[in-house]
A and B are shown apart, each in its own frame.
Chain A
Amino acid sequence: MYTALRNSLANLLRVPTTPPEVPSGTYGAVEIMRASPRYLTYSLLGFYLGAAITFVVEAVALVSVFVSGDVWAQVLTVPVLLLLALGLFLKWFLVRIDYDLRYYVVTDRSLRVREGAWTVAEMTLTYANVQNVRIEQGPLQRLFGISDLVVDTAGGGAVAHPKHSAGVAHHVRLAGLEDAAAVRDKVLSYVRQHGRTSGLGDLDDAERPTAAARLAPEVLAAARELREESRRFRQAAEQAR
């Protein structure tokens, strides 16, 4: 049911159905990753918990309305319930489609993450700018055997939606990875390969590793002339004796 619904809505919502483009350039390694299917289960569990709380609140409200016997309040409950049902359905659909739209492109020089359904965000960064890499795992995530890999670049600011990097600059979150440690090792090895610059746009890193300085040919020629001249000077001094 979900797949049919998504296929019919994909065009209306204009969501991208293909994986994100790999950043332009040539790479030693390109890997396109998805969140684990267990991440979907985990997200749906969160949705069901929220829905259960909504149902309890609704049931209490319904009982109190019918106990009060107010006819207008009873009539009003119908559209309110319909609206709540629609909202829940929308939320469920968003949880499902968020999982389908999620892509992580890991190359040996850059990282690109796509996420979000209302706002489709694609974040690109190069390892030259990576400041730190961390793994985050909550108790429920541990139960499901998944964790998030967060890659930070320099810069700060308040974190408005910690679970959604779409809202926050300066970091990307690879959510719901089954083997976050392996991806972390891979990212760290790429960062190391890149070299150890501060990642703050140092203008001098444009200068590549340079060779030892060559002597100007004139210096050697002058030294040879000086040697010949000193030899003649010695010979003159010896003959004058």
Chain B
Amino acid sequence: MSHDPSPAAGAPQGGGDASILAITRPHPNLFWHYAALSLVGLCLAPVVFVPLFFKYHTLRYRLDEEGISASWGILFKREVHLTYKRIQDIHVKRNLVERWLGIGTVQVQTASGSSSAELSLEGMEDHDAVREFLYRRMRGHERATAPAGAADQAAAGAAEGRELAALLGEIRGELAAARQALEARRG
């Protein structure tokens, strides 16, 4: 039985952000992780395995400049979208089976009411690189600083404002003098 329908399966190793943005499928070993998970169900294993089988085969990820989306399911379809800016915390979880298979799950949490992860990137081969990729897009990963020379800019802006006020004052004075001259001629 083939468990690897996509030629682009799995996380490419190494590389920078480009290799992470290119992730569309979990690593093929996720199939065996699901198989092991369903074995825990003992005699219920086939029942447990069927949805996991379809989940593995339909699972698709998309990472872009704005956020992540994941979709899976054949009867009941699921699609999750979230933006990097809304990430609250990132968990990397690897159970014994995942460690044996050399994969990991990256769980992404946003500020919603559920206690479970809002989006799980299962079957990540390079889970630490995926985590750092997400971390660098999270809020607060670098300190917010005022732009260089902000104080100078503020001082210059204030000086210009004062100059404008002085000019307007002079204009008023000139106009007042002109009005007085015109009134004197008439009267």
Q: A128 to B147, alpha carbons, bound, how many Å?
A: 19
Q: Is A60 interfacial (CB-CB < 8 Å)?
A: no
Contact pattern, A 115-143, Cβ under 8 Å of B = 1, otherwise 0: 00011111111111100000000000000
A124 and B89 contact, Cβ closer than 8 Å, known pairs A119-B95, A129-B139, A155-B110? yes
A230 close to B (CB within 8 Å): yes
Which residues of chain B are near A158, meaning CB under 8 Å? 115
Question: Are B109 and A121 within 8 A (Cβ)?
Answer: no
Q: How many of chain A's residues have a CB under 8 angstroms from any CB in B? A: 65
Which of B91, B117, B167, B182 gathers the greatest number of chain A CB atoms within 10 Å? B91
Q: Is the CB of B95 within 8 A of A227?
A: no
**Residue from B90, B93, B95, B156 within 8 A of A214 (CB atoms):** B156
**A-B interface contact total, Cβ < 8 Å:** 203
Report how far A154 CA is from B167 CA in the complex, Å.
Answer: 53
Find the B residue at minimum CB distance from A155.
B111
Given the known inter-chain contacts A118-B95, A194-B143, A227-B174, please indicate yes or no for A220 contacting B160, CB distance below 8 A. Answer: yes
Measured CB to CB, the nearest residue on chain B to A154 is B111
CA distance A223 to B174 in the complex (A): 13
B174 touches A230 (CB 8 A): yes
B146 within 8 A of A: yes
Known: A212-B157, A224-B167. A110 touches B178 (CB 8 A): no
Q: Which residues of A contact B131 (CB under 8 A)?
A: 122, 124
Given contacts A155-B109, A200-B111, contact A23 B132 (CB under 8 A): yes
Q: Which residues of the partner chain A approach B138 to less than 8 Å between Cβ atoms?
A: 126, 128-129
A153 is an interface residue with CB less than 8 A from chain B: yes
Task: Give chain B residues whose Cβ lies under 8 Å from the Cβ of A226.
Answer: 167, 171
- State whether A230 and B141 are in contact (beta carbons under 8 Å apart), knowing that A13-B99, A159-B115 are contacts in the complex: no
Q: A109, A168, A169, A211: which contacts B143 (Cβ < 8 A)?
A: A109
Q: Which of A23, A120, A128, A215 contacts B164 (CB 8 A)?
A: A215
List 8 A-B pairs, minimum CB-CB distance, nearest first.
A157-B115, A128-B140, A154-B111, A211-B153, A126-B140, A14-B99, A234-B178, A230-B174
New A-B pairs, 13, CB < 8 Å, besides A169-B91, A205-B139: A13-B99, A15-B99, A125-B89, A129-B88, A155-B110, A168-B115, A201-B86, A209-B144, A214-B156, A231-B174, A233-B178, A237-B177, A237-B181
What are some 29 contacts across the A-B interface (CB < 8 A)? A13-B96, A14-B96, A24-B136, A119-B93, A120-B93, A121-B94, A124-B89, A126-B139, A128-B140, A129-B111, A129-B138, A129-B140, A153-B88, A153-B111, A155-B111, A155-B112, A157-B115, A157-B116, A158-B115, A169-B109, A200-B86, A200-B111, A203-B85, A209-B144, A212-B153, A215-B161, A231-B174, A237-B177, A237-B179
Binding site for A on B (CB under 8 A): 83, 85-96, 99-100, 107, 109-118, 128, 131-132, 135-136, 138-147, 150-151, 153-154, 156-158, 160-161, 163-164, 167-168, 170-171, 174-175, 177-179, 181-182, 184-185
Which A residues have a C-beta under 8 Å from some C-beta of B? 13-15, 21, 23-25, 109-110, 118-129, 153-160, 166, 168-170, 172, 193-195, 197, 200-201, 203, 205, 208-215, 219-220, 223-224, 226-227, 230-231, 233-234, 236-238, 240-241
